[in-house]
Structure 1
Amino acid sequence: MDNKEDDEEVGVGSNVPTAIETDIHAEHKEIKAFPRHTRYMVIASCFVIQGLACGLIHSWGVQQEYLANNVYNGNPGKIKTLGYIGTLMFFGIYLWGMPAGWIAEVWSYRKLCLSGVFMMALGQLLASFCKEPWQLCITLGIVFGLGAGLVFGPTSTAPAGWFTKRRGLATGITVAGVGVGGLIIAPLTEFLVRETSVAWSQRITAIYIVVLGAISCFFVRVPVQDRSRSFRSFNWRAFNNRRFVIHALMVFFVTAAYIVPYTYLPQFWVRHGISSEDASVLIAVANVASSVGRIIIGFAADYIGVLNSLALSLGIAAISCLLIWPFATSIGVGVVMSLFYGFTAGGYWTLAPFAAAKLFGIEKLASNSGTFYTVSAFGAWLGNPVGGAILSGPGHSTNFLGMSVYVGVLWFVAFLMAAINRTTYSKKLFAAA
């Protein structure tokens, strides 16, 4: 019975070679060799680093709004350039996923995250001396984006290696740092900008990144580090694996869809008579629901199966965009949309690395997840521009129907990809896969 349970934890199927079973038991022994509190320190440290990296990206809009209205007001070209910075940061956090995951496995999770934290702080510090938007594109968009990309993948996957029965809950708590970081850092940034200046807010940000990030990096580690692997041993043949390709496609479609509602729902609500203040509250509701969903869906996945939870979450996200968004023209229905979308879409970020561990094994989770995050970068680059192009088309600027269908179809295709991998793992409909 124990062997079967262990097989299900790492997703290697029912016909598991004896060598793999031996490795799994060896992994359990490695975990037990550490004090019990080590695993919880790993979760806490990864939670903080995720909050710093993603929370600062989410709070860039505060600085962008101030610069656009007070520094570059009346200069449309520079204001347009400011708009690229958030996209560059968001793109960078995924673009560096593949090399970051591989470097973490070959070199060191701790040292890689420390390097990323240094780059994040350096980007903020250099930005404080910039006078032109194109300079901010380099310091924040590229330098900070590189640092965020170096820490995001490793901190998303490190906690999973410390758990076998509560892997979903551990991952969910970790990635909930994204939402919590946004909720804390955005108002903090607004306060610093208002009371000091954009430049000093960036310098202060660099200081707390170094302090909190360096302390957290000290605790980031995995129980087993395979020192026999090298940079030359990357397995490009993984793309010959049908499951791997299907999972990569799912990741691409999800990332293309994910950010569009967060970007355009406020505009949709204002167009339908809801005040901008209420629209911002509805987005805040979606962010809170996202943080809660990351934890609860991860917890549920430990019981009903990660692949089941993944398909269910993607399906509900598709339904919310196709059937709720078009009718969310009042605050009441807007709250329903925010709750359903935020909860299920946020849960995906818990389930994505957890599902990769289930399908392809825990021992290569960082490099595999890194590959998927790099695929996500192209989806992130595609999603908003296509949505904006649809919105600018005839007849779509008022009812947003074309955009909601576009996003809903992306989520539905991702659901189909997840369902296909679920059926290849187990043909039993109600199995906890």
Structure 2
Amino acid sequence: MLRNKIFYGWIIVLAGHLLITLDGMVLYSFGIFLPYLNEAFGLSNTAGSSFFSLRCVCMAFSFVFAGRLIDTHDARALTFFGGLIAAFGFLLSAYAETTWELYLTYSVMVGIGDGFLYILPVTIISRWFVKKRALAIGIATAGVPVSGLVVNPLTTWLIESFGYERALVYLSVIFTAILCAAFLVKSHPEDMNLKAYGENSEDAKKQKGASDWSPKEAFSHSSFWLMYAAFFFGFNTFLIIVVNLFNFSVGAGISPLVAAGAPAFIGVGSIIGRIFFSGVVTNFLSDVRILFVCYFFQATSIIIILSVAEVWSLYLFGFLFGLFYSGWVPMFPTILGKFYGLKSLGSIFGIFGTGFSLAAISGPLVSGLLFDMTQSYQNSLIVAMAASFITAFLVLLIRTPVKKINKTAT
């Protein structure tokens, strides 16, 4: 009875949410592990940040590979075995004795596995929803901020209680347990003799067929690259904040456990923001307008932390930054599906997702270099704010693409 009442797509959303929390675990825990890894291996802040950057290079290749596979292969197996690579990467990192071993396990293995944990759930959810697609993706991708809310204090407690090596082991066990949610995933509604949510709506009829673009066609359109640039600059801002906020807080004289609350407040704001923007604001603002509002006020929130570095201002900044950051993240896969259709969305989003990986190279490395040069995080925060302001106005140039039809003479 219950199964008949609940559309299975929402089970997919729940599974996707759990799987994407693992992506958040990888993302948020790095900022906590970084000072301990630097101390253990005798690394500068710039060199330590390179672990994260290499991980994201590997994740970029994984994005592309996973995106192509998901268009033609079973989602459950791809997600589970991809995630298992990341889990083993965490586990083996605990036993790394040299820098190159840590690069292999913490960067390469975790990076390859992590690429499967974000792109696959988002792509699958897009197939299951026509109506409320933005809300469904928003709920699923809220796994990242939920993870941030839990992972930072949990990782800090594990490290302070057992050391960073044992903390990596425990996180790998937690990671594997949550990964089992992959077995709830179904690639297509048709696999269960169902139709996508809202399949028979007027909007669905308007979009169906005519909006299916090949990857090559999508990549030839300027709007794709404008969105790609916005995605890149937006994540530069986000990653500079995530990687440096904990250390900034500790440097301001705040204890590690209390400082871990600032990134956790990003998680609180993000949870609220993803539901609010994707479930409410989409009813009266266009997708592009939502992007502008989120990027502009994300940048504005950084002024708080630049002006006052106290506990209350850190927490307020974290909440507001998370609120507006969370609004633009689920909009991009939603817009890609509207612009280019679902037939090749995995391949298209796989290439699109590399914008995050490129940002992960530039953001942490630039901020690490600035810190090594100035011994201050202020310049990094200014760069993050500038990137977000630029992006706010860049997104206003995005236009709905019109597919060219080849006309043959008759």
Identify the TM-score tier after normalising by the shorter chain.
0.7 to 0.9
Q: What residue ranges of structure 2 are gaps of 5+ in the alignment?
A: 192-212, 403-410
In the alignment, does 2:308 pair up with 1:338? no
Pairs within 5 Å for 1:236-251:
236-251=216-231
1:313: how far off?
Answer: 0.7
| Partner residue in 2 for 1:48 | 18
| Partner residue in 2 for 1:285 | 265
| Partner residue in 1 for 2:367 | 387
Pairs within 5 Å for 1:324-363:
324-363=304-343
Give the counterpart letter for 2:361 in structure 1: W
Q: How many residues are paired up?
A: 378
Q: Secondary structure at the match of 2:12?
A: helix
**Conservation of the 8 A alpha-carbon contact between 1:168 and 1:306:** no
1:145: how far off?
Answer: 1.1
| Partner residue in 2 for 1:104 | 70
C-alpha distance after superposition, 1:286-312 (max 9, x if no partner): 232123222222212431233321221
| Partner residue in 1 for 2:128 | 162
Pairs within 5 Å for 1:30-429:
36-66=6-36, 72=40, 76-77=42-43, 82-190=48-156, 192-193=158-159, 198-223=164-189, 235-269=215-249, 278-304=258-284, 305-321=286-302, 323-391=303-371, 400=378, 402-421=379-398
**Conservation of the 8 A alpha-carbon contact between 1:315 and 1:412:** yes
C-alpha distance after superposition, 1:297-354 (max 9, x if no partner): 2212431233321221112112223x43432334444333222212111222222212
Change (3 A) 1:316 1:362: farther
Change (3 A) 1:215 1:423: closer
1:251: how far off?
Answer: 1.4
Change (3 A) 1:100 1:317: same
Change (3 A) 1:67 1:414: closer
1:241: how far off?
Answer: 0.7
Give the counterpart letter for 1:117 in structure 2: G
Deviates more, 1:326-335 or 1:262-271: 262-271
C-alpha distance after superposition, 1:24-55 (max 9, x if no partner): xxxxxxxxxx9843111101111111112321
1:127: how far off?
Answer: 2.9
**Conservation of the 8 A alpha-carbon contact between 2:227 and 2:332:** no
Q: Secondary structure at the match of 1:106?
A: coil
Give the counterpart letter for 1:167 in structure 2: R
| Partner residue in 2 for 1:20 | none
Change (3 A) 1:109 1:292: same
Deviates more, 1:286-295 or 1:137-146: 286-295
1:128: how far off?
Answer: 3.9
Deviates more, 1:353-362 or 1:242-251: 353-362
Deviates more, 1:279-288 or 1:145-154: 279-288
1:180: how far off?
Answer: 1.6
Give the counterpart letter for 2:390 in structure 1: V
1:358: how far off?
Answer: 2.6
Give the counterpart letter for 2:178 in structure 1: L
> Residues of 2 paired with 1:140 and 1:278: CA distance?
27
Change (3 A) 1:408 1:44: same
**Conservation of the 8 A alpha-carbon contact between 1:47 and 1:173:** yes
Give the counterpart letter for 1:334 in structure 2: L
> Residues of 1 paired with 2:128 and 2:273: CA distance?
22
Give the counterpart letter for 2:14 in structure 1: A
**Conservation of the 8 A alpha-carbon contact between 2:20 and 2:144:** yes
Change (3 A) 1:379 1:224: farther
**Conservation of the 8 A alpha-carbon contact between 2:86 and 2:113:** yes
**Conservation of the 8 A alpha-carbon contact between 2:31 and 2:243:** no
Give aligned-pair identity as a percent: 21
**Conservation of the 8 A alpha-carbon contact between 2:56 and 2:358:** no
Q: What residue ranges of structure 1 are gaps of 5+ in the alignment?
A: 1-33, 226-232, 426-433
> Residues of 2 paired with 1:392 and 1:131: CA distance?
25
TM-score by length of structure 2 reads 0.79
Give the counterpart letter for 1:409 in structure 2: A
Change (3 A) 1:78 1:318: closer
TM-score by length of structure 1 reads 0.76
C-alpha distance after superposition, 1:213-239 (max 9, x if no partner): 1343342423269xxxxxxx9633432
